Amino acid sequence: MITNKHRKLLEEELGKRGHIAYVMGLAKAEGITKENGMPYSRPFFSLVYTGKKEHKQIENLFWAAAIKKKNERLELEAKRKKELQQTG
């Protein structure tokens, strides 16, 4: 279950806006759906994110998304630093 402490950590990497849509896209790509094959709703993702509902697969997607965003940010920072060193 995602706690308030966990949510703050996730917010640091995912930001306060757009994170639900981003994780919904990951869920669609991973094929994570309800038993009837329909995708989970945006409010359900919000409930999982705020810790009001528990769903291990979706919780893991939030963590995977945070790791992915962090890696993208670190790669971009390294690229910028390298470009600055080459021009300076």
Q: What is the pLDDT of residues 17-56, one digit of tens each?
A: 999 999 999 999 999 999 999 999 999 999 999 999 999 9
Q: What is the pLDDT of residue 51?
A: 96
Of 41, 37, 8, the closest CA to residue 23 belongs to: 41
Q: 10 Å Cβ neighbour count for 40?
A: 19
Please give the model's pTM, rounded to 2 decimal places.
0.88
Distance CA 76, CA 74 (A): 5
Q: What is the pLDDT of residue 88?
A: 66
Report the percentage of the chain scoring pLDDT > 90: 95
Are the C-beta atoms of 58 and 23 separated by less than 8 Å? yes
Q: Is the pLDDT of residue 66 over 90?
A: yes
Q: What is the pLDDT of residue 40?
A: 98
Distance CA 33, CA 19 (A): 18
Distance CA 29, CA 68 (A): 15
